[in-house]
Amino acid sequence: MQETILIAAFYKFIPLPDYRELRDPLLARCRAAGLRGTILLAEEGINATIAGQRRSVEDLLRYLRSDRRFDDLDIKESYHTRMPFQRMKVRLKREIVAMKVPGIDPNQRVGTYVEPRDWNRLIAQDDVLLIDARNDYEVQIGAFENAINPGADSFHELPGYLSAHLDPATHRRVAMYCTGGIRCEKASAYLLQLGFEEVYHLRGGILRYLEEVEPSASLWRGECFVFDERVSLDHGLQKGEIVICDDCKAMVKQAGEKCPRCGSSNIL
């Protein structure tokens, strides 16, 4: 079946003192265009994944970019055979990605962005400590070689791990990555506040890396978890083999297997 649904993921840390006023017009436009997904708005910026027909997605992006604050949004695109979301939500939040650490502002200072084409060379260096900024269940289905898994159940647990296990005097060069870039961007700001001097993060995250780096040159192993019906993506951003147990919601390696957690054969 031809893949006709465009999934567009984007975020931007940008001061939005009027973020509450942006919600209703944005939601109305999304619904009128038949889009589904989630857009988070906060005083620190915007974080979104939306899906629909290409023309509808592009119309919404033009609307956003008519506001100069969003004119340089970096969009990560992928496709699916059907709509991967149930409804359209535009939510107001304290943070567009919840770290729950006061005073962290990526609008003021963040780590050094590294393009996907330069990522392999950076993380192959012996003095670079590579940190996966995602949750443990995401790491279990795919990660970069030799990356440290903090074992977090949610992003707001990551700062505790970083402050307890990393030392600016010992770990002079730290590289971080996440799915789309937003979590490691904020985590890089946190490390800089702790006194780390060389902090790097993968621009566009795993999604951009899987899109731009050839599989033969890739240091990625496994699949990349995504927060929608597709569950995971492989190289080229095609739907992966990971599926979800309908009984306990555990991830299963592929359809047809029994759930390793509850033993169910009721696999989505």
pLDDT tens readout for residues 115-144: 999 999 999 999 999 999 999 999 999 999
Instruction: Find the DSSP H helices in the chain.
Output: 19-32, 54-65, 116-123, 136-139, 158-165, 182-194, 205-212
Q: Is residue 39 within 8 Å of residue 89, measured between CB atoms?
A: yes
Instruction: Say which CATH topology domain 112-212 has.
Output: Oxidized Rhodanese; domain 1 (3.40.250)
Instruction: Give 10-residue mean pLDDT values along the chain (268 residues).
Output: 83 98 98 98 98 97 97 95 96 97 94 98 97 96 96 97 97 98 98 97 97 96 95 92 77 74 70
**This prediction's pTM:** 0.90
The catalytic residues are 178
Instruction: Say which CATH topology domain 5-92 has.
Output: Alpha-Beta Plaits (3.30.70)
Domain boundaries in the chain? Answer: 5-92, 112-212
